[in-house]
Amino acid sequence: MNKFAFHTMVLAFCCGVAAPVFAQDAQKKEEICFESRKGASEITKREIKPGLPNVKCSPKTGAALWYGDPFDGTVPMGKMPLLEKIPEGHAVIKPRSEKLAILPMCGTACHNGVGPAFNPPTLPKGKKPTPIPTMAGLLPGIENLQHGRGGIWCLDCHHTTKRDKLVDHFGDPVSFDQPQLLCGKCHGDKLRDWRDGIHGKRIGEFTSTGKKRWFVCTECHNPHDVQDGARNRGFIQLQPESPPQLPRGLKDAKHEKLHPIPH
Amino acid sequence: MLSMSSLMGTAALMVQSGDAKAAVEWAEHFQKNYRLMTAEEKAEARARLERRYSAEYGKQVSVDTTEAQPGVLMGYALNIRKCIGCRRCVKACVEENNQSRGNKPGERIEWIQVLRMERGEFSKDKMNHGYPEGLGIQVGGNAYTPAGAVLEGQYHYEPEAVPEKDATYMPIACMHCEKPPCVKVCPVRTTYRDPDGVVVIDYNWCIGCRMCMGACPYWARRINVANPVLPKEAMNPVTHYLGNRPRMRGVVEKCHWCLQRSRHSRYPACVEVCPVGARKFGNLLDPESEVSLILARKNVFRLKAELNTFPKFFYFYD
Ligand code: SF4
Ligand code: SF4
């Protein structure tokens, strides 16, 4: 290799390293924090009024810690049976589909109804998801689906022909923005509690007809991984915020572990 | 007796002497107990505070004085099975309510405590290990390994990730009792219960005697032993007189269900950040509110119910 080429390489290498650093700088200015669970929904910090942000992020865990504007980036929820009593526009959600980057391609690029000619369509007999290399590439670990304890598979939730949609009780397509219409198929008790505000999360105005942002099922639960793993209670484990200040004169909190219950 | 007008006269004199700060301090020092103030006096106090805080924190600070709304009795419910102990509620409360956040001892104040408790054991193989031997499981769990029925536990837990296996988390803050022991003991009556169910403090009248801290069975009250440390950029400029306005050294503070929000129908800060939706807030007089529905439908208990404090904060589980 001649000297010139080597220098060019070094230069290119440096630029290659430098570019992401600059990019990081740009990103740093834009503070983004995750809401319920990591990877589901995010919110970008901005000012509503001088000195009043729309959100505050945790410097330790990156979680949203405080909402100045609870309706940031929301759209009307859409029709929901038995929620008709809520005035128009008072139930809003953050669209899930915007977060699902490949969704617009699902129904056109691969599952466009042309594909391998299934005529008549033959579907797998078993409930175990068949390993499909492309899907496994897009969704690592999907062949080991942690939902339904082996009793369900992809097309119990995803629409057979319209792959950018979910599917409800009657085989009709459901938008990814309204997963509750699908999840309620099996988890009816949870759907009822969610509708009444007992299960799940809502932010905004607390009066029963007030304007609220509703968190939909998949903002808190990962539908492909909800079963007990290294966690309990159906919610993915996350990093906690820092503990309270130690009482004056104490170096650590060992005394707390000396409680008298023999285990 | 000193009349208000003579005080105002003195204050005006001092303003004329050019010492505006002294005038404000003078007026504040002789301010009446908030509950006894007339609407005009409240408006005056409000304007004074807004001016002072705005100058101090370098932004437009508002001090709300909205009264309890008729037809509202606030209530809170927390799903004890859902809480994962992440402490986001604790930090949200600090962001919302302008607590002191220094690093020296006594300078960091948090109103919510999250207590981590060992889960009691009801394991199959121990079912028969109760006392006396052979008679099966005893009330409150196995006699040798009681269920987490005692309020013994850890506040300073710090694992990589929560929830931990075999742990239960119990957040505790002011319970907004219907018969609050703190109100009974306060010698200057600066803490009282408003008609919408919130137990509030007029910080200006607090003498820092800490009687209420001793009386509260729920360890809800905190005192500013040091000068509160509140960075300008972190200060929340939307405040309420009885709520999150900046406090001074030597006064007691505690949860007030985010009055500055809840008096305007907004959820408290801790409700809004809880990632698992364990925290529920609403109007107990509205049968359709989420808290009313929880009381109607779920298994509910109040902490230390035997003390007859009648908290408006309920714990529940599915
Ligand atoms: S209601 Fe408000 S003041 Fe009370 S604990 Fe929650 S965040 Fe803090
Ligand atoms: S934010 Fe919710 S889950 Fe986290 S400690 Fe508080 S109540 Fe528990």
The conformation of residue B151, written as its DSSP 8-state character, comes to S
How far apart are the C-alpha atoms of B234 and B213, rounded to whole Å?
Answer: 27
Q: What is the pTM of this model?
A: 0.85
> Nearest CA of chain A to the CA of B241: how many Å?
19
**CB contact at 8 A, A180 and A194:** yes
What contacts B282, CB < 8 A, 6 or more positions away?
A: A197, A206, A207, A208, B74, B75, B289, B290, B291, B292
In this prediction, residues A1-8 reach a mean pLDDT of 45
- What 3 state SS string does chain A have? CCHHHHHHHHHHHHHHHHHHHHHHHHHHHCCEEECCCCCCCEEECCEEECCEECEEECCCCCEEEEECCCCCCCEECCCCCCCCCCCCCCEEECCCHHHCCCHHHHHHHHCCCCCCCCCCCCCCCCCCCCCCHHHHHHCCCHHHCECCCCCCCHHHCECCCCCCCEECCCCCEECCCCHHHHHCCCCHHHHHHHHCCCCCCEEEECCCCCCEEECCHHHHCCCCECCCCCCCCCCCCECCCCCCCCCCCCCCCHHHHHCCCCC
Confidence label for B21 from pLDDT (cuts 50, 70 and 90): confident
Lowest mean pLDDT among A246-250, B32-36, B126-130, B259-263: B126-130
What is the pLDDT at residue B143? 52
Residues 6+ apart with CB under 8 A from A89: A76, A211
Tokens of B91: 């930090």
Lowest mean pLDDT among A60-69, A102-111, A174-183, A224-233: A224-233
ipTM of the assembly? 0.85
Q: What are phi and psi of A141, to 5 degrees?
A: 85, 5
> Mean pLDDT across the stretch B237-255?
96
* Alpha carbon of B113 to ligand 2 centroid (Å): 10
The residue among B112, B230, B282, B211 whose CA lies nearest residue A241 is B112
Q: How far is A179 from chain B (nearest CA, A)?
A: 17
A175-192 average pLDDT score: 92
- Which residue, B102, B148, B59, is CA-closest to A53? B59
Question: How distant is the Cα of B293 from the closest Cα of chain A, in angstroms?
Answer: 7
Alpha carbons B220 and B302: distance in angstroms, whole number: 15
Average pLDDT estimate for B207-219: 96
Average pLDDT over residues A83-87: 88
* Distance (Å) from the alpha carbon of B30 to chain A's nearest alpha carbon: 32
CA distance linking residue B244 with residue B63, whole number of Å:
9
Closest Cα partner for A214 from A98, A86, A103?
Answer: A86
The predicted model gives B236-256 an average pLDDT of: 96
- Backbone angle region of B18, left / alpha / beta, with phi > 0 → left and psi within -120 to 50 → alpha: left
pLDDT greater than 70 at residue B14: no
For atom 2 of ligand 2, which residue has the closest CA? B274
End-to-end CA distance of chain B: 59
Residue of chain A nearest B288, judged by CA positions: A208
> Would the CA dihedral through B239, B242, B243, B248 be positive or negative?
positive
Q: Which of residues 233-252 of A touch B (CB under 8 A)?
A: 233, 235, 237-249, 252
Cβ atoms within 10 A of the Cβ of B311, count?
22
B115 CB less than 6 Å from ligand 2? Answer: no
Closest CA to B240 of B218, B223, B263: B263
Nearest CA in chain A to B116: A256
Tell me which residues of chain A, numbers 70 to 109, contact chain B at a CB-CB cutoff of 8 Å: 70
B118 → closest Cβ in A58, A244, A263: A263
**Contact residues for A100 (Cβ-Cβ < 8 A; gap 6+):** A176
Q: Between the CA atoms of A221, A226, A228 and A229, what dihedral angle is there, to the nearest 10 degrees?
A: -90
Asked if A208's CB is within 8 angstroms of B273's CB, the reply is: no
Q: Quote the distance between the C-alpha of residue B118 and its chain's center.
A: 26
| Residue A139: pLDDT band with limits 50, 70, 90 | confident
Q: Is the pLDDT of residue A2 over 60?
A: no
User: pLDDT class for B18, splitting at 50, 70, 90?
Assistant: low
**Interatomic CA distance for residues A215 and B275, integer angstroms:** 10
What value does the mean pLDDT of chain B take?
A: 87
- Ligand 2 atom closest to B276 (CA): 3
Taking every pair of C-alpha atoms in chain B, what is the biggest distance, in angstroms?
A: 86
Determine if ligand 2 sits within 6 Å of the CB of residue B167.
no
Per-residue pLDDT, A140: 77
Output the residue whose Cα is nearest ligand 1's atom 3. Answer: B255
Residue type, B120: G
Q: Can you give the pLDDT at residue B120?
A: 63
d(CA B200, CA B192): 6
* C-alpha torsion sign, points B25, B27, B32, B38: negative
Among left, alpha and beta (phi > 0; psi -120 to 50; other), residue A141 is left
Q: How far is the CA of A243 from the centre of ligand 2 (A)?
A: 13
Find which of B57, B72, B88, B295 to mutate to test the A interface (most A CBs within 10 Å of its CB): B88
Using CA coordinates, name the residue in chain A closest to B294: A198
| Whether B113 contacts B171, CB under 8 Å | yes
Which stretch of A1-10, A73-82, B41-50, B230-239 has the lowest confidence by average pLDDT?
Answer: A1-10
- Helical packing angle, B20-29 and B39-57, nearest 10°: 140
Query: What is the reported pLDDT for B230?
Result: 96
| Cβ–Cβ gap B290/A198 under 8 Å | yes
Cβ(A229)–Cβ(B165) under 8 Å? no
Strand-pair category, A91-93 with A212-214: parallel
Q: Which of B152, B273, B315 to mutate to test the interface with A (most CBs of A within 10 A)?
A: B273
Chain A partners of B92 at a C-beta cutoff of 8 Å?
Answer: 65-66
| B165–A contact, CB cutoff 8 A | yes
Average pLDDT over residues B52-56: 93
Statement: residue A218 has pLDDT above 50: yes
What ligand is nearest to the CA atom of residue A240?
A: 2
- The pLDDT score that the predictor gives to residue B176 is 97
**β-bridge mates for residue B79, sequence order:** B316
Task: Look at B84 and A104; give whichever has higher pLDDT.
Answer: B84
Ligand 2 pocket test, candidate residues B79, B80, B88, most atoms within 8 A of CB: B88
Neighbouring CB atoms inside 10 A of B69's CB total 14
B111-125, B131-145, B265-279, range with the lowest pLDDT: B131-145
Which pLDDT belongs to residue A8? Answer: 44
HSE-up of residue A3 (Cα within 13 Å, Cβ side): 0
User: What is the band of B136 on the pLDDT scale with cuts at 50, 70, 90?
Assistant: low
Ligand 2 near B32 CB (within 6 A): no
For the segment B158-175, the average pLDDT, to the nearest whole number, is 91
pLDDT of residue B129: 58
pLDDT, greater one: A185 or B311: B311
The pLDDT-based confidence of A10 (bands split at 50, 70, 90) is very low
> Given A67, A199, A259, which is nearest B272 (Cβ)?
A67
Q: Identify the band that residue A123 occupies on the pLDDT scale cut at 50, 70 and 90.
A: low
For the cut 60, the answer to whether the pLDDT of residue A18 exceeds it is: no
Residue B99 pLDDT greater than 50, yes or no: yes
Label residue A241 by pLDDT band (50, 70, 90): very high
Smallest CA–CA distance, residue B201 to chain A, in Å, is 23
The size of chain B, in residues, is: 318
Q: Give the ligand 1 atom nearest the CA of B76.
A: 1
User: Which one of B78, B270, B279 would you pick to mutate in the ligand 1 pocket, going by the greatest count of ligand atoms within 8 A of its CB?
Assistant: B270
